Structure 1
Amino acid sequence: MDYRKEEKESSQSCFSEIPTYCRSGNSFSLHLKISVAGRRRIKLTWPNIVISYCHLQNLKDQILTTNVWLEHEWQDHKFMWDPQEYGGVTELYVPSEHIWLPDIVLYNNADGEYVVTTMTKAVLRHTGKVLWTPPAIFKSSCEIDVRYFPFDQQTCFMKFGSWTYDGNQIDLKHINQKLGEDKVEVGIDLREYYPSVEWDILGVPAERHERYYPCCAEPYPDIFFNITLRRKTLFYTVNLIVPCVGISYLSVLVFYLPADSGEKIALCINILLSQTMFFLLISEIIPSTSLALPLLGKYILFTMVMVGFSVVITIIILNVHYRKPSTHRMAPWVRSFFIKSVPKLLLMRVPKDLLTELAANKIPLNRMSLKKRELDIMPSSRSSSSSTSSSSMNRVSGCNGLHSSTTTARLRGFAGTLSERLGYNGLPSVFSGLDESDSGTRKKYPFELEKAIHNVMFIQHHIQRQDQFNAEDQDWGFVAMVLDRLFLWIFIIASIAGTISILCEAPALYDDTKPIDMELSSVAQQQFLPDFENMQ
């Protein structure tokens, strides 16, 4: 087939129909639907992609939504005419369905629409240049890196190319592409861009590639439009980070809450549940990926581990607080370490009685002497009881109930001990009439006095045992307070260090790159003109 002859006839038919189209407004003949297969190479240039809206609307599904105008421009020699021959007509607006259109598609499409669906009119100029600018809403796939969420920066790309024609038939290039270079720094027109409330645009470079596929020997050119976005963090800082940090520091106050309140474990569990709620909230926002753990999720996981440790430590501290001397005897090193040494480091005030007894080494001695004294008291009580019973029998038989010198000395010792422990000075006057030099002298004492002394000694030893029990009980309580204060400082330091080390590792916090959308967008300059002038 002679293609030159066919092109000439087609061109003549086009020229013959141009005046008719101008007069009546009818569409072109179907002869205008030409094919480039087997003909000369068409140079297809894209002056730009004009973006009016760009947003990662569906972050969980990793979809980038863009509202664009695709400006196609190519040269077709069949649409050339002399304006002087046709009444000065230099350009025509024709339905795009009636002319040949390049099948440029979005390769990384995510919603099933690969091509433009709104068929606007094309502009035919007498020089043979064809300009077609259809609007489109593309939803392209964008791999989201959640490693630094919410201080993240994403780079999405849009790959455009011809689906049918190879590089020998269509030479696809960017209009701003320089000779010998395949990359354009600003490849997208942002003059009509409406600034996003969530993302800043840092860069929109375009790059041309030529790829060879296994099926074909011809090259297939395509153009990548890379869009670098940086998230605006104010929303997530106020609604996620500040509550998470505040709730995490409540776990520190668990160790400041007194053990007698009975609410330490309840506070820990409530904090743990609140952190779990935030963790589930984050999982609903970010994509379900196993490649990386988000920054905020890492921090919440850290606080959950801290709260878990606080629950375990609180249980141990409560166990120490409620220990009794009847079941747990405090070791001397525990008393020396937690009552004498550690409180000084923690700036705690030790009770004076504990500190005085510990300094005088009286606590272990008193504990041992009291136990030994209790063993000595038991036979004396039994002897006193036997003497009391014998005295009663003597009184019944008409005999005088006289105390032996041994019993008198023991009672004197009891009374002396009682006076020392209780500070009672009236009881020793009972024995003031005894003459120790005359051991043979016997004085009569009534049975009621002897019984009263025995009862007083019983009360004295009961009080001593109760004092010992209370003292050791207070020791365990103070040790629990020391442990609370110790872990309070440990958790404060760990929480501050963890917060700084985790939240401050995001590179976006130290990136001072200015967004280009505010500089290149005329819409943004009109809306935020005072703020834009202050930025400059």
Structure 2
Amino acid sequence: MTEEKPAELIFICFMLLHGYVAALNCTSPTPESLFNALEKELFPKHLIRPSKSFSDPINISIAITLVGIMGVDEKSQTLKTVLWQVLEWDIEGLSWDEKECGTRRVSIPREKLWIPDVQIYEFTDEDKSPQTPYVYLYNTGRVFDDKPIRVVSSCQLEIYTFPFDIQNCSLTFGPYLHFSSEVRMVQGATPEEILQESREVLMTNGEWELADVGIAHSTLAIDVGNYSEIKYFIILRRRPILYVVNLLIPSCFLITLDLFSFLLPPQSVDRASFKMTLILGYTVFLLIMNDLLPVTGETTPLINIFFSISLALMVASLLETVFITNIQFSSSQYSAVPQWLSVLVLQYLAVVVFLPPKKNNRVTVSLQPPATDPAKNTKTSIISARDPQGVSDDKPPVKPCPGCSAPPEPELVELRKLSRDLMAIRLQMDKQCRGSSTSQEWQMIGLVIDRLLFGLYIVFIFVGFITIMSVWIWNNSYTV
């Protein structure tokens, strides 16, 4: 063992001075001759990094092609893709003559060469892609390693604008062990070339489409050294047609139907049962389509807020319909409207909804006698005061007349009876007028609230439509 160590040291020093390997000499232009030369000069050194010295880094050129977008999982925040990864590097000092050896390149087993430990830092699952056992070796010492990779990578998804969202997922390629002083990552293809080739060979035509590709060089610094890495940004755009047809359009239909239900007169049609049926149908619709909505704990999508506000407006319209129906049939039994409520609703909200209060055109009829006849007025008052129970008694009382033997005049009896009847009619009309005024005021409040909710519905539908169209247009016109 002690005799072999000096020989190994001499061999290593010789390689450092004269390069990793020397030029190959082939005895004939046949595969056997070339492989014999490789077996002699290159294959025994597959455990050694192919550089002249330990201080010289090896430049690893990398290029990728996106050939499949398998899916995006919002719940686990992962992206599933299929890539073609192309790595290229040079073996220092290796070369052969194409005419002498008979070929410009040759495929050799992967385990016969030193392979860089380039990995994707965002890996979250095992790579289950098929293994490629061979790599190309050119007569200039250039190694070409092309293999497919099934990538399950972590990606921070932003789904606030779902289903019109655009995702920016990064894939960072770099050596797992070697520092930048030993292995240096170099860009192999431009972003435009990667994007064009990826769109030509993209095999999937599902929910996502490739919008753009970006590249950034970076260096990861740790305590013991720096790592060279290249980061690719995969820009994906979701195709929203499926969600627009299955989610937004049916929801808008139900909301519009609930909007036009305000035109139903509550006094003659059971509007509450109609709205209750709509709420039940909308709830069943959301339960059925729940699987299409994204699930995440960080951000609430805008479409979920849209559905929640829609359901809240439906419930509010149902409660308002119950209130108006109650007013229509029971307002005569209510007490007077509070002053603050009357001022708030009838003076301010009524102007907002373009429903100003109507002027009171009712004519008040007074049953009091005219002031020019004080004698009759006094007489009528005396009759009413002397006969307080005459409202419910039709038999006129007989006034005792000790000095008179003749009965009272028939005209006086009739006048007394007529006075009692008129007083009863007046009291009943006053009571009815006061109740009618209170009922009309409550009904006016209900009408203002109904018009206010109708206006809120229109504003919500208009704003929601403008927002959805703006996000859709911005999504389709997105450029990096």
Q: TM-score, normalised to structure 1's length?
A: 0.65
* Partner of residue 58 from structure 1, selected from 69, 73, 78: 73
Shift of 1:228: 1.4
Aligned counterparts of 1:241 and 1:470: Cα–Cα separation in 2 = 48
Shift of 1:107: 0.7
Shift of 1:485: 4.5
Counterpart residue number, 2:456: 491
Indicate yes or no: 2:255 matched with 1:245.
no
Maintained 8 Å contact 2:167/2:235? yes
Indicate yes or no: 2:216 matched with 1:207.
yes
Q: Can you list the C-alpha shifts for 1:105-127, whole angstroms capped at 9, x where unaligned?
A: 111012133x9751242112222
* Partner of residue 266 from structure 2, selected from 246, 253, 259: 259
Q: Counterparts in 2 of 1:80-159, with a 5 A limit?
A: 80-86=95-101, 88-113=102-127, 118-159=131-172
SS at match of 2:320: helix
Structure 1: gaps (5+ residues): 178-183, 367-371, 391-399, 418-456, 517-536
SS at match of 2:309: helix
* Partner of residue 385 from structure 1, selected from 390, 395, 405: 395
Aligned counterparts of 1:166 and 1:121: Cα–Cα separation in 2 = 26
Maintained 8 Å contact 1:106/1:158? yes
Pair 199,468 (structure 1): closer, same or farther in 2 beyond 3 Å: same
Pair 169,474 (structure 1): closer, same or farther in 2 beyond 3 Å: closer
Pair 258,276 (structure 1): closer, same or farther in 2 beyond 3 Å: same
Aligned counterparts of 2:27 and 2:250: Cα–Cα separation in 1 = 71
Shift of 1:201: 2.6
Read off the aligned partner of 1:306 and give its amino acid letter.
L
Read off the aligned partner of 1:487 and give its amino acid letter.
L
Aligned counterparts of 1:116 and 1:168: Cα–Cα separation in 2 = 30
Shift of 1:79: 4.7
Pair 252,401 (structure 1): closer, same or farther in 2 beyond 3 Å: farther
Percent identity between the two aligned chains: 17
Greater Cα offset, 481-490 or 138-147: 481-490
Counterpart residue number, 1:49: 64
Aligned counterparts of 2:294 and 2:449: Cα–Cα separation in 1 = 38
Aligned counterparts of 2:249 and 2:193: Cα–Cα separation in 1 = 37
Shift of 1:159: 0.5
Maintained 8 Å contact 1:338/1:482? no
SS at match of 2:389: helix
Maintained 8 Å contact 2:24/2:37? no
Indicate yes or no: 2:92 matched with 1:73.
no
Counterpart residue number, 1:407: 413
Read off the aligned partner of 2:364 and give its amino acid letter.
K
Q: Can you list the C-alpha shifts for 1:81-117, whole angstroms capped at 9, x where unaligned?
A: 223333x22221222233222111111012133x975
Aligned counterparts of 1:13 and 1:346: Cα–Cα separation in 2 = 94
Counterpart residue number, 1:167: 180
Shift of 1:226: 0.6
SS at match of 2:327: helix
Shift of 1:277: 5.8
Pair 18,172 (structure 1): closer, same or farther in 2 beyond 3 Å: farther
Maintained 8 Å contact 1:209/1:223? yes
Shift of 1:133: 0.8
Pair 410,386 (structure 1): closer, same or farther in 2 beyond 3 Å: closer
* Partner of residue 509 from structure 1, selected from 473, 476, 479: 473
Aligned counterparts of 1:6 and 1:54: Cα–Cα separation in 2 = 46
Read off the aligned partner of 1:67 and give its amino acid letter.
V
Maintained 8 Å contact 1:28/1:98? no
Maintained 8 Å contact 1:268/1:310? no
Read off the aligned partner of 1:41 and give its amino acid letter.
P
Q: TM-score, normalised to structure 2's length?
A: 0.72
Counterpart residue number, 2:377: none
SS at match of 1:359: coil
Pair 407,18 (structure 1): closer, same or farther in 2 beyond 3 Å: farther
Pair 187,382 (structure 1): closer, same or farther in 2 beyond 3 Å: closer
Maintained 8 Å contact 1:318/1:480? no
Aligned counterparts of 1:105 and 1:24: Cα–Cα separation in 2 = 32
Maintained 8 Å contact 1:60/1:286? yes
Aligned counterparts of 1:514 and 1:468: Cα–Cα separation in 2 = 67
Aligned counterparts of 1:127 and 1:345: Cα–Cα separation in 2 = 83
Pair 10,342 (structure 1): closer, same or farther in 2 beyond 3 Å: closer
Indicate yes or no: 2:286 matched with 1:321.
no
Shift of 1:258: 3.2
Maintained 8 Å contact 1:35/1:100? yes
Counterpart residue number, 1:221: 228
Q: Can you list the C-alpha shifts for 1:311-361, whole angstroms capped at 9, x where unaligned?
A: 4434433342233434435689969x969x9699757998xxxx7xx3144
Indicate yes or no: 2:301 matched with 1:294.
yes
Counterpart residue number, 1:278: 286
SS at match of 1:494: helix
Aligned counterparts of 1:346 and 1:41: Cα–Cα separation in 2 = 79
Aligned counterparts of 2:92 and 2:392: Cα–Cα separation in 1 = 133
Higher relative contact order (CA 8 A, sep 6+): 1
Q: Can you list the C-alpha shifts for 1:111-170, whole angstroms capped at 9, x where unaligned?
A: 133x97512421122221111111121111111012222222111110011112222222
Pair 77,256 (structure 1): closer, same or farther in 2 beyond 3 Å: same
Greater Cα offset, 193-202 or 126-135: 193-202
Aligned residue pairs, count: 436
Maintained 8 Å contact 1:201/1:229? yes
Structure 2: gaps (5+ residues): 1-8, 368-380, 401-405
